Structure 1
Amino acid sequence: MTQVATNREAISLGTWIGFFSMAGGTFMAVLDTQIVASSLAEIGASLGSTIDEASWIQTAYIIAEVIMIPLAGWLSRSLSLKYLYALACILFTLFSICCALAWSIESIMVFRIFQGLFAGAMIPLLYQAIYALFPRERQANVTLFVVLIIAIAPTIGPTLGGWITQTYSWRWLFLLNVFPGLIVSTSVFYLVKCPPPNFSLLKKFDYQGIILIAIFLGCLEYVLGEGTENDWFESRLIVTLSFIVVTSAGLLLWRELTCRHPVIDLRAFRDRNFATGCLFNFIMGLGLFGSGYLMTVFLSSVRDYNSLEIGKVMMVPGLAMMISLPVVRLFRTRLGVRTTLAIGLILFGVSLSINAFMTAETGFDQLLLPQAMRGFAMMMCMSPITELALGRLPTEAVANASSLYSLMRYLGGGIGIAVINTLVEMRSSLHHQRLVEVLNPARYATSDIITSFSSSVAGQTTDLVQALEGGLQLLSILVERESLLMTCNDIWLMIACLFAISFMLMPTVQKVAPRS
């Protein structure tokens, strides 16, 4: 069988089952990125660690995952698509069992590193499978399904994880992977048809490139994840790691452009659509992960929602994505890839702009429209971006390019969340200062507010001094809440402007021509 199914060749039932098994395995891998996010406190308490130490359960997985993603293309060329995926899935399942049996915070961190490595191999291979297993006329519809799988998993991860932890135990977050993992690895191994491994590539092992990738991406993810907590460049560790990031990035670029057999082939960026598609995917990563993170900050800190209430709001985009699948397919067929993407970018920006006018009373009813619109826009954007980025490349280049393409989304999410964290700290401090200036106790209006708050406290105490202190404390809480609310609105508008700028890049996108 050739690398790409031909138009005349019927797709067997086994191929469909094998591909859907890969989709299920990738859903499982992406889900595990976020499923422990809402249960870190419970895991840390069970293993006798602090919440800061427990946060590394999440960080270790993400760093390992991001390091492996760009290596998956080279490994798939060496071991073949199906053998690498089956191996990655069975090892992912094995280390899921190890995580469930962890006895200390150190042990679960080590197991999560290996779990993240093998999850990182599975994610880009699903994109590669689209172009390896299906003829061109089916690739667009299959891409829609893959996009749904990749995008919906992070939206339900924290909610599902919190429910499992509260209902059963945090160990079931990992045991949940065992049965599906065994089914997926077996199905892929026996049902997916692809060219045999090319073990000769292993003799041309670019170990220098792999080491530089690990150093560059590992340090970059640490800086992005821990920079805000360490006051960025006020920390000597962050400064040192940032220097390592810049140096290793330069060395990696030089190595991969001069090496005869690079582990990641950067020549794919010569294709304008691939380069633009990676930029769009970076922006979509920021929009997907950044908007989800910012919405969680608003709901938890401004609205004081619990995890189930937050999950209810965060499920809306996922449901909208599933419902919109046939509509997006119709748009793509009738209007074309570029027009569909342009409409999606506009809708995404509009949904963000609506959020920029939230108040402290904004709840589920008011958030339903922008959340649903954002889910619809994600489907309108992500499927065309995938087709634009990978659809023009030669078949033999897709394996490497799909890894780079997947990496862009994760880098966009990581950088976006780091920037949002920094903006939350800076803008909330600025808005707090301005509100304090406006609410000067010497002003008559401010005095009335303090008197009103003090009166509400006076019913609980007969001490007038305590009543006054209670009133001032209530005012302070109100100022903190409003400054954070104003900050969230500012950031929503900033992200909306980013999508407006990305819309202006549409003239650079070329029509997708048949693959050579």
Structure 2
Amino acid sequence: MTDEVASGDPAGGLPSPADAPPPPAERASTADWLAVGAGALGAMMATLDISIVNSSLPTIQGEIGASGTEGTWIATAYLVAEIVIIPLSGWLERVFGLRTFLLIAASLFIAFSMLCGFSHTLPMMIVGRVGQGFTGGALIPTAMTIVATRLPRSQQPVGNAMFGCTVILGPVTGPVLGGWLTENISWHYAFFINLPVGMALITLLLVAMPHQRPKFDLVAQADWFGIFGLAMALGGLTVVLEEGEREQWFSSSVICWLAAMSVIGMAFVAIGQIRATRPVIRLALLRDPQFSAVVIMGIAVGMVIYGTSYVIPQFLSTIAGYNSLQSGEIVLLSGIPSLLMMPFTPLMVRRIPIRVSVTIGMAILAFSAWLETGITPLSAGGDFAHSQLLRGVGTIMTMMFLNQAAIRSVPPEQASDAAGLYNAARNLGGSFALAGIAVIQDQRVWLHSRRMEESLSANSVMVQDYMAQQSQALGGTATALQSLGRTIQIQALTMTYIDLFWILAVGVVCVSPLILLLRPLPQGGKPVAAH
């Protein structure tokens, strides 16, 4: 062999490294994209059902004989169960295999949706909603796992954008879809709609996902301390937060037992972290400052997304007199920016520095909540239009990059653990928001009512003149007093909603400094994992 040939000289007939064509870019197959689509559809169905009952809640409560207090469990039962199952999804996926696990989850989700649709009592509805939460919660982190394992790094921004948009659109389209079905057909179809969607999901899973042999030997090796601990800790904590105010906190034996159960559950989780070879939830991931920051900011964003999608319909229904469909249409406004920005999100992830995007997004989220602190008892849906559109922009600029940072903060083999922990944190934020709303609403409505009543002295000439005019107009003193009571209640409730929006705005601002812990993603070119 000549020196020229050995050295790779072109004259020797072999191309030099400089002249050699670059290797072809790794591309996902059609089956890979169908799998990603199946994951996104499952996540969309699961997140949609979190809020689909929000605008039709008064109608459902009336038909199944539930009070306003009991009716909140129709919304929160789903979140409680979902929060428990999401961190367990990684382990269940390894036991059954991804396709089998998703097929079981999708099939049971359809069954529990039918149970909700046929419900005629509150216990029946709650059982159905808990079942929906357990099975639907499994569909969310597995979507991120599919993106991490089926797509090459260069195409993951597209897959993450698909997943992120479904997570964003689900909570905002839920109220309008549920409202439309309630007003035009029946609230039952807010659950029956999952039948055709679920069948489409099952078809995609059968076509696109390869069968994997189950590993039932993992059951014996499972982190049972962690499994039972998570169920006890997260379930007990959520119920304590939800029911604590109504049960007078620790003066109630039920709350005391649930709080003790939560503490014991946390201890079990800690034991599992030490003893298990592979803990059911890998809390060690939180040692990474970036991942910890992403989780905390995910909680805050979850509070804004789920909190506002619950509060706004309630305000429009109780104060402005909107029906279910009208309330849902206002909530849907925040989804318009998501639809418009969706085609550009992969490019945004590649080109915009993560700190810049998340900073802008968090600032917009805080500003949108602050705008809503100016509402009055005369406010209507149009008064929420600008804040809702801004919230949509802020959410997509924040969530797209947080999803990307969460999935890239860990090696691919730990993607399912990271996805479960991150999604559980985001939904835990939603649970905190709903529980906090119940607590704050009870306290602040009472406080604002008492303060207004104390300011209205019976000896005041102005009050006496007002009551005289109202008595004459309404036909009696008793009717005038009832009218005054309703006015005070409406004012107190409006002031309480203002308090809630203030808290959401301040909460976002408080976690914003964590943006400094985010590591920059590569600009342009092929993204790399951030370990």
TM-score under structure 1 length normalisation: 0.89
Match of 2:354 among 337, 351, 365: 337
With over 3 angstroms needed to count, the CA separation of the structure-2 counterparts of 1:321 and 1:445, relative to structure 1, is: farther
* Distance of 2:334 and 2:268 partners within structure 1: 40
Supply the AA of the counterpart residue of 2:317: S
How big is the shift at 1:355?
A: 0.8
Match of 2:144 among 112, 127, 144: 127
* Distance of 1:196 and 1:420 partners within structure 2: 45
Supply the AA of the counterpart residue of 1:322: L
* Distance of 1:72 and 1:358 partners within structure 2: 41
Match of 1:487 among 481, 496, 504: 496
Contact 1:19 1:188 in 2 (8 A): no
Match of 1:92 among 84, 92, 109: 109
With over 3 angstroms needed to count, the CA separation of the structure-2 counterparts of 1:97 and 1:257, relative to structure 1, is: same
How big is the shift at 1:301?
A: 2.6
With over 3 angstroms needed to count, the CA separation of the structure-2 counterparts of 1:51 and 1:451, relative to structure 1, is: closer
Supply the AA of the counterpart residue of 1:297: Q
Q: Secondary structure at the match of 1:501?
A: helix
Matching residue of 2:80: 63
With over 3 angstroms needed to count, the CA separation of the structure-2 counterparts of 1:287 and 1:105, relative to structure 1, is: closer
Contact 2:113 2:192 in 1 (8 A): yes
Find out whether 1:311 has 2:320 as its counterpart. no
How big is the shift at 1:38?
A: 4.7
Matching residue of 1:264: 281
How big is the shift at 1:81?
A: 2.6
Q: Which moved more, 1:420-429 or 1:65-74?
A: 420-429
Q: Superposed, which structure 2 residues align to 1:133-172 within 5 Å?
A: 133-172=150-189
Match of 1:430 among 437, 442, 447: 447
* Distance of 2:207 and 2:248 partners within structure 1: 51
How big is the shift at 1:103?
A: 7.4
How big is the shift at 1:349?
A: 0.6
With over 3 angstroms needed to count, the CA separation of the structure-2 counterparts of 1:9 and 1:203, relative to structure 1, is: farther
TM-align CA RMSD: 2.7
Contact 1:83 1:189 in 2 (8 A): no
Contact 2:99 2:212 in 1 (8 A): no
Contact 1:428 1:484 in 2 (8 A): yes
Find out whether 1:186 has 2:195 as its counterpart. no
Taking only the aligned residue pairs, the percentage that are identical comes to 29
Supply the AA of the counterpart residue of 2:356: T
* Distance of 1:302 and 1:102 partners within structure 2: 29
Q: Which moved more, 1:328-337 or 1:433-442?
A: 328-337
With over 3 angstroms needed to count, the CA separation of the structure-2 counterparts of 1:240 and 1:486, relative to structure 1, is: same
Find out whether 1:208 has 2:225 as its counterpart. yes
Q: Which moved more, 1:382-391 or 1:138-147?
A: 138-147
How big is the shift at 1:41?
A: 6.2
How big is the shift at 1:322?
A: 1.5
What does the per-residue CA deviation read over 1:99-155, in whole Å, with 9 as the maximum and x for residues that have no partner?
445676555544443333221111110111121121222222322221121122122
Matching residue of 2:93: 76
Q: Superposed, which structure 2 residues align to 1:403-442 within 5 Å?
A: 403-442=420-459
Matching residue of 1:3: none
With over 3 angstroms needed to count, the CA separation of the structure-2 counterparts of 1:175 and 1:477, relative to structure 1, is: closer
Contact 2:34 2:208 in 1 (8 A): yes
Contact 2:355 2:516 in 1 (8 A): no
What does the per-residue CA deviation read over 1:149-185, in whole Å, with 9 as the maximum and x for residues that have no partner?
1122122223322432443344433332222222212
* Distance of 1:349 and 1:48 partners within structure 2: 38
How big is the shift at 1:430?
A: 2.1
Find out whether 1:500 has 2:517 as its counterpart. no
With over 3 angstroms needed to count, the CA separation of the structure-2 counterparts of 1:140 and 1:311, relative to structure 1, is: same
Find out whether 1:384 has 2:385 as its counterpart. no
With over 3 angstroms needed to count, the CA separation of the structure-2 counterparts of 1:17 and 1:486, relative to structure 1, is: same
Supply the AA of the counterpart residue of 1:167: N
How big is the shift at 1:67?
A: 1.6
Contact 1:86 1:186 in 2 (8 A): no
Supply the AA of the counterpart residue of 2:388: Q
* Distance of 1:49 and 1:483 partners within structure 2: 24
Q: Which moved more, 1:135-144 or 1:50-59?
A: 50-59
With over 3 angstroms needed to count, the CA separation of the structure-2 counterparts of 1:38 and 1:211, relative to structure 1, is: same
* Distance of 1:298 and 1:37 partners within structure 2: 12
What does the per-residue CA deviation read over 1:421-457, in whole Å, with 9 as the maximum and x for residues that have no partner?
2222222222222222322232333334334433432
* Distance of 2:59 and 2:89 partners within structure 1: 33
Supply the AA of the counterpart residue of 1:160: L
* Distance of 1:146 and 1:30 partners within structure 2: 11
Matching residue of 2:339: 322
Q: Secondary structure at the match of 2:404?
A: helix
Find out whether 1:472 has 2:472 as its counterpart. no
What does the per-residue CA deviation read over 1:309-335, in whole Å, with 9 as the maximum and x for residues that have no partner?
211211111223212334655544443
Matching residue of 2:191: 174
| Equivalenced residues, count | 503
* Distance of 1:194 and 1:11 partners within structure 2: 18
Supply the AA of the counterpart residue of 1:355: E
Q: Which runs of 5+ in 1 are unaligned?
A: 1-5
Q: Secondary structure at the match of 1:359?
A: coil
* Distance of 1:445 and 1:48 partners within structure 2: 42
With over 3 angstroms needed to count, the CA separation of the structure-2 counterparts of 1:94 and 1:431, relative to structure 1, is: closer
With over 3 angstroms needed to count, the CA separation of the structure-2 counterparts of 1:370 and 1:51, relative to structure 1, is: closer
Matching residue of 1:239: 256
Q: Which moved more, 1:403-412 or 1:257-266?
A: 257-266
What does the per-residue CA deviation read over 1:170-208, in whole Å, with 9 as the maximum and x for residues that have no partner?
443333222222221222233135876555433412223
Q: Which moved more, 1:238-247 or 1:318-327?
A: 318-327
